[in-house]
Chains A and B, each alone.
Chain A
Amino acid sequence: MHLIKSFTVSTCLVAILAGCGTVPTHDVDGPADVKNYDRSLYERTSVTGSSLYDRLGGRNVIAEFVDDAVERILVNDRIAHHFDGVDIPDLKFHLTEQICQLAGGPCVYEGMDMESAHFALDITAAEFNALVEDFQQAMRANDVAYGLENQVLALLAPMKPAVIRQ
Protein backbone atom coordinates (compact mmCIF):
# COMPACT_ATOMS: atom_id res chain seq x y z
CA MET A 1 0.00 0.00 0.00
CA HIS A 2 2.77 2.43 0.94
CA LEU A 3 4.53 1.53 -2.23
CA ILE A 4 1.48 2.35 -4.33
CA LYS A 5 0.99 5.57 -2.42
CA SER A 6 4.53 6.77 -2.92
CA PHE A 7 4.33 5.86 -6.60
CA THR A 8 1.11 7.78 -7.03
CA VAL A 9 2.40 10.83 -5.22
CA SER A 10 5.62 10.84 -7.22
CA THR A 11 3.78 10.42 -10.49
CA CYS A 12 1.62 13.41 -9.56
CA LEU A 13 4.76 15.41 -8.80
CA VAL A 14 6.23 14.61 -12.19
CA ALA A 15 2.98 15.61 -13.87
CA ILE A 16 2.90 18.88 -11.93
CA LEU A 17 6.54 19.63 -12.73
CA ALA A 18 5.88 19.21 -16.43
CA GLY A 19 3.70 22.29 -16.28
CA CYS A 20 5.91 24.40 -14.05
CA GLY A 21 6.97 26.75 -16.83
CA THR A 22 3.51 28.28 -16.94
CA VAL A 23 3.32 29.25 -13.26
CA PRO A 24 2.97 33.04 -13.09
CA THR A 25 5.55 34.85 -11.00
CA HIS A 26 3.49 37.96 -10.33
CA ASP A 27 0.18 38.31 -8.65
CA VAL A 28 -1.43 40.16 -11.49
CA ASP A 29 -4.73 40.77 -9.70
CA GLY A 30 -3.26 42.25 -6.54
CA PRO A 31 -1.84 45.71 -5.95
CA ALA A 32 1.74 46.38 -6.96
CA ASP A 33 3.13 46.00 -3.43
CA VAL A 34 2.60 42.23 -3.30
CA LYS A 35 4.25 41.71 -6.67
CA ASN A 36 7.34 40.01 -5.28
CA TYR A 37 5.70 36.77 -4.42
CA ASP A 38 2.76 34.85 -5.62
CA ARG A 39 -0.05 33.30 -3.70
CA SER A 40 1.26 30.19 -1.97
CA LEU A 41 0.72 26.78 -3.46
CA TYR A 42 -1.69 26.13 -0.66
CA GLU A 43 -3.88 29.07 -1.51
CA ARG A 44 -3.86 28.15 -5.17
CA THR A 45 -4.59 24.48 -4.64
CA SER A 46 -6.98 24.88 -1.72
CA VAL A 47 -10.48 23.70 -2.31
CA THR A 48 -11.93 25.12 0.88
CA GLY A 49 -14.21 28.07 0.39
CA SER A 50 -12.90 30.16 3.26
CA SER A 51 -9.79 32.29 3.11
CA LEU A 52 -6.81 31.73 5.41
CA TYR A 53 -7.80 35.06 6.98
CA ASP A 54 -11.15 33.59 8.01
CA ARG A 55 -9.62 30.31 9.16
CA LEU A 56 -7.13 32.19 11.33
CA GLY A 57 -9.99 34.07 12.92
CA GLY A 58 -9.60 37.56 11.52
CA ARG A 59 -7.32 40.56 11.86
CA ASN A 60 -7.13 40.54 15.65
CA VAL A 61 -5.61 37.07 15.68
CA ILE A 62 -3.03 38.13 13.11
CA ALA A 63 -2.29 41.33 15.05
CA GLU A 64 -1.74 39.31 18.23
CA PHE A 65 0.80 36.90 16.87
CA VAL A 66 2.54 39.64 14.85
CA ASP A 67 2.88 41.66 18.06
CA ASP A 68 4.32 38.62 19.86
CA ALA A 69 6.65 37.76 16.95
CA VAL A 70 8.06 41.29 16.79
CA GLU A 71 8.68 41.28 20.56
CA ARG A 72 10.60 38.01 20.13
CA ILE A 73 12.55 39.43 17.18
CA LEU A 74 13.60 42.46 19.25
CA VAL A 75 15.22 40.21 21.85
CA ASN A 76 16.67 37.75 19.34
CA ASP A 77 20.44 38.33 19.38
CA ARG A 78 20.80 37.10 15.84
CA ILE A 79 18.53 39.70 14.23
CA ALA A 80 17.58 42.41 16.73
CA HIS A 81 20.31 44.75 15.41
CA HIS A 82 18.47 45.06 12.10
CA PHE A 83 15.62 46.78 13.91
CA ASP A 84 17.62 49.54 15.59
CA GLY A 85 15.81 52.82 15.03
CA VAL A 86 12.77 51.16 13.47
CA ASP A 87 9.34 52.50 14.43
CA ILE A 88 8.07 49.34 16.12
CA PRO A 89 4.32 50.15 16.30
CA ASP A 90 4.49 51.10 12.62
CA LEU A 91 6.31 47.82 11.80
CA LYS A 92 3.70 45.76 13.66
CA PHE A 93 0.89 47.59 11.87
CA HIS A 94 2.37 47.06 8.42
CA LEU A 95 3.22 43.39 9.07
CA THR A 96 -0.33 42.79 10.24
CA GLU A 97 -1.80 44.54 7.20
CA GLN A 98 0.50 42.61 4.90
CA ILE A 99 -0.26 39.16 6.34
CA CYS A 100 -3.96 40.06 6.54
CA GLN A 101 -4.00 40.98 2.86
CA LEU A 102 -1.93 37.96 1.77
CA ALA A 103 -4.26 35.68 3.73
CA GLY A 104 -7.18 37.01 1.79
CA GLY A 105 -8.48 39.46 4.41
CA PRO A 106 -10.00 42.91 3.85
CA CYS A 107 -6.77 44.81 4.43
CA VAL A 108 -4.55 46.78 2.09
CA TYR A 109 -0.82 46.74 2.72
CA GLU A 110 0.47 50.22 1.99
CA GLY A 111 4.03 49.84 3.17
CA MET A 112 7.15 49.61 1.06
CA ASP A 113 7.70 46.71 -1.29
CA MET A 114 9.95 44.01 0.11
CA GLU A 115 13.10 44.93 -1.85
CA SER A 116 12.92 48.59 -0.80
CA ALA A 117 12.06 47.76 2.79
CA HIS A 118 15.21 45.63 3.11
CA PHE A 119 17.45 47.74 0.90
CA ALA A 120 21.11 47.71 1.94
CA LEU A 121 20.36 45.71 5.09
CA ASP A 122 22.29 42.75 3.63
CA ILE A 123 20.08 40.26 5.47
CA THR A 124 21.33 36.66 5.34
CA ALA A 125 19.31 33.50 4.84
CA ALA A 126 20.08 32.50 8.43
CA GLU A 127 18.67 35.82 9.67
CA PHE A 128 15.57 35.41 7.53
CA ASN A 129 15.11 31.94 9.05
CA ALA A 130 15.60 33.32 12.56
CA LEU A 131 12.67 35.65 11.92
CA VAL A 132 10.60 32.73 10.60
CA GLU A 133 11.36 30.83 13.82
CA ASP A 134 10.19 33.79 15.91
CA PHE A 135 6.95 33.84 13.93
CA GLN A 136 6.54 30.09 14.50
CA GLN A 137 7.07 30.48 18.23
CA ALA A 138 4.68 33.43 18.35
CA MET A 139 1.94 31.57 16.52
CA ARG A 140 2.34 28.56 18.83
CA ALA A 141 2.27 30.81 21.88
CA ASN A 142 -0.96 32.37 20.57
CA ASP A 143 -2.62 28.99 19.95
CA VAL A 144 -2.63 29.24 16.18
CA ALA A 145 -3.18 25.67 14.98
CA TYR A 146 -0.10 23.99 13.48
CA GLY A 147 -1.93 23.57 10.17
CA LEU A 148 -2.66 27.30 9.98
CA GLU A 149 0.87 28.18 11.10
CA ASN A 150 2.26 26.31 8.10
CA GLN A 151 -0.13 28.08 5.76
CA VAL A 152 1.00 31.47 7.08
CA LEU A 153 4.62 30.42 6.54
CA ALA A 154 3.74 29.38 3.01
CA LEU A 155 2.63 32.97 2.39
CA LEU A 156 5.83 34.43 3.85
CA ALA A 157 8.38 31.93 2.47
CA PRO A 158 8.36 33.24 -1.13
CA MET A 159 9.47 36.66 0.19
CA LYS A 160 12.93 35.27 0.92
CA PRO A 161 14.54 36.28 -2.40
CA ALA A 162 13.12 39.80 -2.02
CA VAL A 163 14.34 40.14 1.58
CA ILE A 164 17.84 38.71 1.67
CA ARG A 165 20.98 40.17 0.11
CA GLN A 166 19.33 43.45 -0.90
Chain B
Amino acid sequence: MRCPVPFIRSHWNKGLHMKIARIIIALTLLLGTQAHATGGKLLGTGGVTQFEGAGGGGLTPWALITGMGTEDEIGGSAHFTYLGIDDYSLSSWGVGAGFHDRLELSLARQKLDVDQIIVENTAAALIGGLEPILGDPGPLQAASTSIEMDIIGAKLRLFGDAVFDQASFVPQVSLGVQHKRNRDFGSGVAVPYLGDVGIPALLGARDDSGTDYYLSATKVFLGVPAGRNLLLNGTLRATRANAYGLLGFGREVVNPLDGELLDRDNSHKLEYEFSAALFVHPNVVVGAEYRSQSNRLADQPVLGLLGAPDLAREDNVYDVFVAWLPNKQLSVTAAWVNLGNLPFQESSNAAYLSLQASF
Protein backbone atom coordinates (compact mmCIF):
# COMPACT_ATOMS: atom_id res chain seq x y z
CA MET B 1 0.00 0.00 0.00
CA ARG B 2 1.37 3.38 -1.01
CA CYS B 3 1.21 6.44 1.17
CA PRO B 4 -0.90 9.18 -0.42
CA VAL B 5 2.07 11.52 -0.36
CA PRO B 6 5.18 10.06 -2.00
CA PHE B 7 7.22 8.65 0.85
CA ILE B 8 10.48 9.69 -0.70
CA ARG B 9 10.75 13.21 -1.96
CA SER B 10 12.65 12.86 -5.15
CA HIS B 11 14.68 16.04 -5.49
CA TRP B 12 17.08 15.01 -8.14
CA ASN B 13 16.56 14.21 -11.72
CA LYS B 14 17.38 10.65 -12.56
CA GLY B 15 17.46 11.31 -16.30
CA LEU B 16 19.84 14.23 -15.93
CA HIS B 17 22.25 12.17 -13.86
CA MET B 18 22.27 9.36 -16.36
CA LYS B 19 23.01 11.96 -19.02
CA ILE B 20 25.95 13.38 -17.06
CA ALA B 21 27.28 9.89 -16.43
CA ARG B 22 27.06 9.12 -20.14
CA ILE B 23 28.84 12.35 -21.03
CA ILE B 24 31.68 11.51 -18.66
CA ILE B 25 32.00 8.02 -20.09
CA ALA B 26 32.01 9.43 -23.61
CA LEU B 27 34.56 12.06 -22.63
CA THR B 28 36.68 9.38 -21.00
CA LEU B 29 36.68 7.27 -24.13
CA LEU B 30 37.28 10.30 -26.35
CA LEU B 31 40.22 11.54 -24.27
CA GLY B 32 41.51 8.01 -24.28
CA THR B 33 41.99 8.20 -28.02
CA GLN B 34 43.57 11.66 -28.14
CA ALA B 35 47.22 10.82 -27.70
CA HIS B 36 48.67 14.01 -29.15
CA ALA B 37 47.45 16.26 -26.34
CA THR B 38 48.82 14.04 -23.62
CA GLY B 39 51.44 15.28 -21.17
CA GLY B 40 54.89 13.89 -20.74
CA LYS B 41 54.62 11.76 -17.61
CA LEU B 42 55.45 8.08 -17.80
CA LEU B 43 52.63 5.55 -17.99
CA GLY B 44 50.89 5.04 -14.67
CA THR B 45 52.77 7.75 -12.79
CA GLY B 46 49.68 9.92 -12.38
CA GLY B 47 47.89 7.19 -10.47
CA VAL B 48 44.24 6.35 -11.06
CA THR B 49 41.42 8.32 -9.43
CA GLN B 50 40.17 7.38 -5.98
CA PHE B 51 36.42 7.41 -5.36
CA GLU B 52 36.55 10.88 -3.76
CA GLY B 53 38.14 12.36 -6.88
CA ALA B 54 41.81 12.66 -5.90
CA GLY B 55 44.65 11.08 -7.82
CA GLY B 56 45.59 7.89 -6.04
CA GLY B 57 44.48 4.33 -5.77
CA GLY B 58 40.80 3.45 -5.71
CA LEU B 59 40.27 3.98 -2.00
CA THR B 60 42.97 6.38 -0.88
CA PRO B 61 44.74 9.46 -2.26
CA TRP B 62 48.40 9.23 -3.21
CA ALA B 63 51.03 11.97 -3.20
CA LEU B 64 51.13 11.80 -7.02
CA ILE B 65 49.49 14.65 -8.95
CA THR B 66 46.69 13.48 -11.26
CA GLY B 67 47.03 13.57 -15.04
CA MET B 68 49.98 13.21 -17.36
CA GLY B 69 51.38 16.73 -17.02
CA THR B 70 55.00 17.17 -15.98
CA GLU B 71 56.43 20.18 -14.14
CA ASP B 72 56.17 22.27 -17.33
CA GLU B 73 52.68 21.13 -18.29
CA ILE B 74 49.06 21.07 -17.23
CA GLY B 75 47.44 17.66 -17.17
CA GLY B 76 44.11 16.31 -16.10
CA SER B 77 41.84 13.34 -15.72
CA ALA B 78 38.20 12.32 -15.70
CA HIS B 79 36.76 9.29 -13.96
CA PHE B 80 33.63 7.25 -13.58
CA THR B 81 33.49 4.66 -10.83
CA TYR B 82 30.79 2.19 -9.88
CA LEU B 83 30.72 0.11 -6.74
CA GLY B 84 27.89 -2.36 -6.32
CA ILE B 85 26.67 -4.66 -3.60
CA ASP B 86 23.27 -6.29 -3.07
CA ASP B 87 21.17 -3.42 -1.70
CA TYR B 88 23.64 -0.58 -2.16
CA SER B 89 25.46 0.99 -5.05
CA LEU B 90 27.84 3.92 -5.14
CA SER B 91 28.67 5.89 -8.26
CA SER B 92 31.35 8.52 -8.43
CA TRP B 93 32.31 10.73 -11.31
CA GLY B 94 34.41 13.81 -11.67
CA VAL B 95 37.34 15.66 -13.15
CA GLY B 96 40.77 16.64 -11.90
CA ALA B 97 43.51 18.93 -13.12
CA GLY B 98 47.20 18.78 -12.36
CA PHE B 99 49.21 21.99 -12.61
CA HIS B 100 52.94 21.60 -13.23
CA ASP B 101 53.05 18.37 -11.28
CA ARG B 102 52.66 20.56 -8.19
CA LEU B 103 48.99 21.32 -7.56
CA GLU B 104 45.96 19.13 -8.13
CA LEU B 105 42.37 20.40 -8.12
CA SER B 106 39.46 18.00 -8.34
CA LEU B 107 35.70 17.99 -8.41
CA ALA B 108 33.64 14.85 -7.81
CA ARG B 109 30.05 13.84 -7.28
CA GLN B 110 29.09 10.70 -5.41
CA LYS B 111 25.69 9.07 -5.46
CA LEU B 112 24.81 6.32 -3.03
CA ASP B 113 21.67 4.41 -3.99
CA VAL B 114 20.00 2.49 -1.22
CA ASP B 115 17.37 -0.16 -1.79
CA GLN B 116 13.82 0.40 -0.56
CA ILE B 117 13.95 -2.39 1.99
CA ILE B 118 17.04 -0.90 3.66
CA VAL B 119 15.47 2.55 3.92
CA GLU B 120 12.29 1.09 5.39
CA ASN B 121 14.17 -1.08 7.86
CA THR B 122 16.45 1.77 8.90
CA ALA B 123 13.56 4.15 9.52
CA ALA B 124 11.61 1.44 11.36
CA ALA B 125 14.57 0.58 13.56
CA LEU B 126 15.25 4.21 14.40
CA ILE B 127 11.70 5.07 15.34
CA GLY B 128 10.88 1.68 16.85
CA GLY B 129 11.61 2.88 20.38
CA LEU B 130 9.11 5.71 20.01
CA GLU B 131 6.13 3.46 19.36
CA PRO B 132 5.25 2.83 23.03
CA ILE B 133 5.25 6.58 23.63
CA LEU B 134 3.65 7.91 20.46
CA GLY B 135 1.50 5.03 19.31
CA ASP B 136 1.31 3.09 16.06
CA PRO B 137 3.26 4.89 13.33
CA GLY B 138 1.12 3.31 10.61
CA PRO B 139 2.45 1.51 7.59
CA LEU B 140 5.99 2.44 6.62
CA GLN B 141 6.83 2.44 2.98
CA ALA B 142 9.73 3.83 1.03
CA ALA B 143 10.96 3.87 -2.50
CA SER B 144 14.65 3.39 -3.03
CA THR B 145 16.49 6.52 -2.10
CA SER B 146 19.82 8.11 -2.76
CA ILE B 147 22.36 10.21 -0.92
CA GLU B 148 24.47 12.53 -3.03
CA MET B 149 27.64 14.36 -2.12
CA ASP B 150 29.92 16.89 -3.81
CA ILE B 151 33.64 16.83 -3.11
CA ILE B 152 36.02 19.67 -3.94
CA GLY B 153 39.61 18.59 -3.56
CA ALA B 154 43.04 20.20 -3.66
CA LYS B 155 46.44 18.61 -3.23
CA LEU B 156 49.85 20.27 -3.10
CA ARG B 157 53.08 18.37 -3.66
CA LEU B 158 55.38 19.52 -0.87
CA PHE B 159 58.58 17.74 -1.86
CA GLY B 160 60.05 14.60 -3.35
CA ASP B 161 59.86 12.73 -6.64
CA ALA B 162 58.24 9.34 -6.09
CA VAL B 163 59.40 7.88 -9.39
CA PHE B 164 62.76 9.39 -10.36
CA ASP B 165 64.47 9.74 -7.04
CA GLN B 166 65.75 6.17 -7.04
CA ALA B 167 68.95 7.09 -5.23
CA SER B 168 67.30 7.67 -1.87
CA PHE B 169 64.38 6.48 0.19
CA VAL B 170 62.81 9.95 0.42
CA PRO B 171 59.17 9.68 -0.74
CA GLN B 172 57.03 12.21 -2.58
CA VAL B 173 54.93 13.97 0.03
CA SER B 174 51.73 15.92 -0.63
CA LEU B 175 49.26 17.78 1.54
CA GLY B 176 45.62 17.49 0.54
CA VAL B 177 42.21 18.78 1.44
CA GLN B 178 38.76 17.46 0.54
CA HIS B 179 35.75 19.63 1.23
CA LYS B 180 32.57 17.58 1.12
CA ARG B 181 28.97 18.70 0.93
CA ASN B 182 26.28 16.13 1.53
CA ARG B 183 23.25 17.07 -0.57
CA ASP B 184 20.80 14.77 1.18
CA PHE B 185 21.68 15.36 4.79
CA GLY B 186 18.54 16.59 6.43
CA SER B 187 15.69 15.82 4.10
CA GLY B 188 14.47 13.41 1.50
CA VAL B 189 12.79 10.69 3.57
CA ALA B 190 9.40 11.06 5.25
CA VAL B 191 9.42 9.26 8.58
CA PRO B 192 6.38 8.83 10.86
CA TYR B 193 6.45 11.18 13.90
CA LEU B 194 9.52 13.05 12.56
CA GLY B 195 8.30 14.19 9.15
CA ASP B 196 10.78 14.95 6.39
CA VAL B 197 14.25 13.91 7.50
CA GLY B 198 17.48 12.75 5.91
CA ILE B 199 19.13 9.44 6.61
CA PRO B 200 22.44 11.01 7.83
CA ALA B 201 20.66 13.29 10.30
CA LEU B 202 18.41 10.43 11.37
CA LEU B 203 21.46 8.32 12.18
CA GLY B 204 22.83 11.05 14.43
CA ALA B 205 25.23 13.00 12.20
CA ARG B 206 25.69 16.68 13.07
CA ASP B 207 26.63 18.54 9.86
CA ASP B 208 25.94 18.31 6.17
CA SER B 209 29.44 19.40 5.23
CA GLY B 210 32.97 18.86 6.44
CA THR B 211 36.58 19.09 5.41
CA ASP B 212 39.18 16.34 5.46
CA TYR B 213 42.89 17.15 5.59
CA TYR B 214 45.45 14.57 4.59
CA LEU B 215 49.16 14.03 4.21
CA SER B 216 50.27 11.39 1.70
CA ALA B 217 53.72 9.88 1.23
CA THR B 218 54.30 7.84 -1.93
CA LYS B 219 57.40 6.05 -3.13
CA VAL B 220 57.96 3.93 -6.21
CA PHE B 221 60.73 1.36 -6.06
CA LEU B 222 61.89 0.67 -9.61
CA GLY B 223 62.82 -2.93 -10.18
CA VAL B 224 62.92 -3.81 -6.52
CA PRO B 225 60.87 -6.95 -5.97
CA ALA B 226 61.90 -9.42 -8.67
CA GLY B 227 62.53 -6.58 -11.10
CA ARG B 228 58.99 -5.25 -10.77
CA ASN B 229 58.10 -1.67 -9.85
CA LEU B 230 56.50 -1.36 -6.43
CA LEU B 231 54.53 1.63 -5.23
CA LEU B 232 53.94 2.14 -1.53
CA ASN B 233 51.72 4.84 -0.10
CA GLY B 234 50.77 5.92 3.38
CA THR B 235 48.12 8.56 4.02
CA LEU B 236 47.21 10.18 7.30
CA ARG B 237 43.80 11.84 7.30
CA ALA B 238 42.07 14.14 9.79
CA THR B 239 38.31 13.85 9.27
CA ARG B 240 34.91 14.39 10.82
CA ALA B 241 33.21 12.29 8.14
CA ASN B 242 30.91 9.36 8.79
CA ALA B 243 31.15 6.79 6.01
CA TYR B 244 33.29 9.27 4.00
CA GLY B 245 30.62 11.93 4.56
CA LEU B 246 27.79 9.99 2.91
CA LEU B 247 26.35 9.77 6.43
CA GLY B 248 27.25 13.35 7.31
CA PHE B 249 29.91 14.81 9.56
CA GLY B 250 30.40 14.73 13.29
CA ARG B 251 27.81 13.45 15.70
CA GLU B 252 25.11 15.18 17.63
CA VAL B 253 22.27 13.34 19.25
CA VAL B 254 19.23 15.19 20.47
CA ASN B 255 16.26 13.55 22.11
CA PRO B 256 13.52 14.05 19.51
CA LEU B 257 10.89 14.34 22.23
CA ASP B 258 12.29 17.14 24.36
CA GLY B 259 15.24 18.52 22.39
CA GLU B 260 17.76 17.62 25.08
CA LEU B 261 21.34 17.31 23.83
CA LEU B 262 22.39 13.76 24.61
CA ASP B 263 25.73 13.49 22.93
CA ARG B 264 28.12 15.42 20.69
CA ASP B 265 31.38 14.48 19.00
CA ASN B 266 32.61 17.08 16.57
CA SER B 267 36.39 16.74 16.58
CA HIS B 268 38.57 15.68 13.67
CA LYS B 269 39.86 12.15 14.11
CA LEU B 270 43.07 10.74 12.61
CA GLU B 271 42.64 7.87 10.17
CA TYR B 272 45.24 5.74 8.41
CA GLU B 273 45.34 4.63 4.81
CA PHE B 274 47.84 2.34 3.10
CA SER B 275 48.36 1.18 -0.47
CA ALA B 276 50.73 -1.20 -2.15
CA ALA B 277 50.72 -1.55 -5.94
CA LEU B 278 52.93 -3.66 -8.14
CA PHE B 279 53.48 -3.35 -11.89
CA VAL B 280 53.45 -7.04 -12.78
CA HIS B 281 53.53 -6.20 -16.48
CA PRO B 282 54.20 -2.91 -18.33
CA ASN B 283 50.43 -2.34 -18.54
CA VAL B 284 49.02 -4.21 -15.53
CA VAL B 285 49.11 -3.19 -11.87
CA VAL B 286 47.85 -5.29 -8.98
CA GLY B 287 47.57 -4.04 -5.44
CA ALA B 288 45.84 -3.79 -2.11
CA GLU B 289 44.62 -0.90 -0.01
CA TYR B 290 43.48 -0.32 3.53
CA ARG B 291 41.59 2.57 5.09
CA SER B 292 40.47 3.05 8.67
CA GLN B 293 37.23 4.78 9.60
CA SER B 294 36.18 6.78 12.66
CA ASN B 295 33.09 4.73 13.51
CA ARG B 296 31.51 7.73 15.18
CA LEU B 297 27.84 6.87 14.75
CA ALA B 298 27.88 3.51 16.52
CA ASP B 299 27.06 2.94 20.17
CA GLN B 300 25.34 6.21 20.80
CA PRO B 301 22.73 6.64 23.51
CA VAL B 302 19.80 7.83 21.44
CA LEU B 303 20.08 5.15 18.83
CA GLY B 304 20.32 2.66 21.64
CA LEU B 305 17.21 4.19 23.14
CA LEU B 306 15.50 3.94 19.80
CA GLY B 307 16.59 0.40 19.25
CA ALA B 308 19.43 0.52 16.69
CA PRO B 309 22.76 0.80 18.49
CA ASP B 310 24.96 -0.62 15.76
CA LEU B 311 23.07 0.26 12.62
CA ALA B 312 25.68 2.69 11.28
CA ARG B 313 28.75 0.99 12.67
CA GLU B 314 31.74 1.59 10.37
CA ASP B 315 34.45 -0.99 9.86
CA ASN B 316 37.89 -0.45 8.41
CA VAL B 317 37.86 -1.03 4.69
CA TYR B 318 40.27 -2.89 2.47
CA ASP B 319 40.44 -3.86 -1.18
CA VAL B 320 42.47 -5.78 -3.69
CA PHE B 321 42.61 -4.42 -7.23
CA VAL B 322 43.91 -4.97 -10.69
CA ALA B 323 44.34 -2.06 -13.08
CA TRP B 324 44.90 -2.23 -16.79
CA LEU B 325 46.60 0.75 -18.43
CA PRO B 326 46.61 0.07 -22.17
CA ASN B 327 48.12 3.52 -22.79
CA LYS B 328 48.78 6.81 -21.03
CA GLN B 329 45.28 8.04 -21.73
CA LEU B 330 43.13 5.27 -20.36
CA SER B 331 42.93 3.04 -17.31
CA VAL B 332 40.41 0.45 -16.20
CA THR B 333 40.48 -0.69 -12.58
CA ALA B 334 38.54 -3.61 -11.13
CA ALA B 335 38.53 -4.29 -7.41
CA TRP B 336 37.02 -6.36 -4.68
CA VAL B 337 36.26 -4.16 -1.70
CA ASN B 338 35.46 -5.29 1.82
CA LEU B 339 33.29 -2.49 3.23
CA GLY B 340 32.51 -4.23 6.49
CA ASN B 341 29.22 -3.35 8.13
CA LEU B 342 26.51 -1.44 6.29
CA PRO B 343 23.06 -0.93 7.78
CA PHE B 344 21.30 -4.31 7.57
CA GLN B 345 24.18 -5.79 5.61
CA GLU B 346 27.11 -7.00 7.65
CA SER B 347 30.52 -7.87 6.18
CA SER B 348 29.72 -6.43 2.79
CA ASN B 349 31.91 -7.33 -0.15
CA ALA B 350 31.48 -5.07 -3.13
CA ALA B 351 32.60 -5.21 -6.73
CA TYR B 352 34.29 -2.06 -8.00
CA LEU B 353 34.92 -0.88 -11.52
CA SER B 354 36.54 2.41 -12.47
CA LEU B 355 37.27 4.03 -15.78
CA GLN B 356 39.74 6.88 -16.00
CA ALA B 357 40.99 9.05 -18.82
CA SER B 358 44.11 11.19 -18.52
CA PHE B 359 45.83 13.78 -20.61
Chain A residues whose CB sits within 8 angstroms of the CB of B42 once the complex forms:
129, 132-133
Kindly identify which residue among B40, B167, B226, B229 contacts A37, using a CB–CB cutoff of 8 Å: B167
Identify which of A13-21, A67-75, A111-119 touches chain B: A13-21
B73 touches A38 (CB 8 A): no
B219 touches A13 (CB 8 A): yes
Interface on chain A toward B: helix, strand, loop, or mixed SS? helix
Interface on chain B toward A: helix, strand, loop, or mixed SS? loop
A124 touches B166 (CB 8 A): no
What per-residue 1/0 map shows which CB atoms of B228-250 lie under 8 Å from chain A?
Answer: 11001010000000000000000
A129 touches B40 (CB 8 A): yes
Kindly identify which residue among B72, B224, B232 contacts A41, using a CB–CB cutoff of 8 Å: B224
Tell me if B170 is interfacial: C-beta within 8 Å of chain A: yes
Known: A20-B168, A20-B170, A124-B70. A5 touches B227 (CB 8 A): no
Please, how many angstroms separate the alpha-carbon atoms of A130 and B39 in the complex?
Answer: 10
Tell me if A127 is interfacial: C-beta within 8 Å of chain B: yes
B222 touches A125 (CB 8 A): no
Chain B residues whose CB sits within 8 angstroms of the CB of A37 once the complex forms:
167
Please, how many angstroms separate the alpha-carbon atoms of A161 and B221 in the complex?
Answer: 18
B169 touches A158 (CB 8 A): no
Q: Which of B36-63 contact A (CB under 8 A)?
A: 39-42
Chain B residues whose CB sits within 8 angstroms of the CB of A147 once the complex forms:
223, 226-228
Tell me if B7 is interfacial: C-beta within 8 Å of chain A: no
How many interface residues does B have (CB within 8 Å)?
Answer: 42
Tell me if B318 is interfacial: C-beta within 8 Å of chain A: yes
Please, how many angstroms separate the alpha-carbon atoms of A42 and B72 in the complex?
Answer: 29
Question: Could you tell me the distance in whole angstroms from the C-beta of B166 to the nearest C-beta in chain A?
Answer: 4
Identify which of B19-27, B122-130, B199-207, B281-289 touches chain A: B281-289
Please, how many angstroms separate the alpha-carbon atoms of A151 and B227 in the complex?
Answer: 6
How many Cβ-Cβ contacts under 8 Å join chain A to chain B?
133
Please, how many angstroms separate the alpha-carbon atoms of A54 and B279 in the complex?
Answer: 24
A150 touches B171 (CB 8 A): no
Please, how many angstroms separate the alpha-carbon atoms of A153 and B222 in the complex?
Answer: 7
What per-residue 1/0 map shows which CB atoms of B157-173 lie under 8 Å from chain A?
Answer: 00001011111111100
Chain A residues whose CB sits within 8 angstroms of the CB of B221 once the complex forms:
41-42
Chain B residues whose CB sits within 8 angstroms of the CB of A78 once the complex forms:
40
Q: Which of B199-221 contact A (CB under 8 A)?
A: 217, 219, 221
What per-residue 1/0 map shows which CB atoms of B289-321 lie under 8 Å from chain A?
Answer: 110000000000000000000000000001010
Q: Write the chain A residue with the least CB distance to B316.
A: A3
Known: A3-B290, A6-B276. A157 touches B166 (CB 8 A): yes
Q: Which of A101-133 contact B (CB under 8 A)?
A: 124-127, 129-130, 132-133
Chain A residues whose CB sits within 8 angstroms of the CB of B167 once the complex forms:
23, 25, 37-41, 158
Q: Could you show 24 A-B contacts with beta carbons less than 8 Å apart?
A: A3-B318, A6-B275, A6-B276, A7-B274, A10-B234, A10-B274, A10-B276, A17-B170, A19-B169, A25-B168, A37-B167, A38-B167, A40-B166, A40-B223, A41-B169, A42-B224, A133-B42, A146-B281, A148-B227, A150-B222, A153-B223, A158-B164, A158-B166, A158-B167
- Which 6 pairs across A and B sit closest by C-beta, in order of nearness? A147-B227, A126-B40, A150-B223, A154-B222, A151-B223, A38-B167
Q: Measuring CB to CB, which residues of chain B are less than 8 angstroms from any residue of chain A?
A: 39-42, 70-73, 101, 161, 163-171, 217, 219, 221-224, 226-229, 232, 234, 274-276, 279, 281-282, 288-290, 318, 320
Q: Measuring CB to CB, which residues of chain A are less than 8 angstroms from any residue of chain B?
A: 2-3, 5-7, 9-10, 13-14, 16-17, 19-20, 23, 25, 37-42, 45, 78, 124-127, 129-130, 132-133, 136, 140, 145-155, 157-158, 160-161
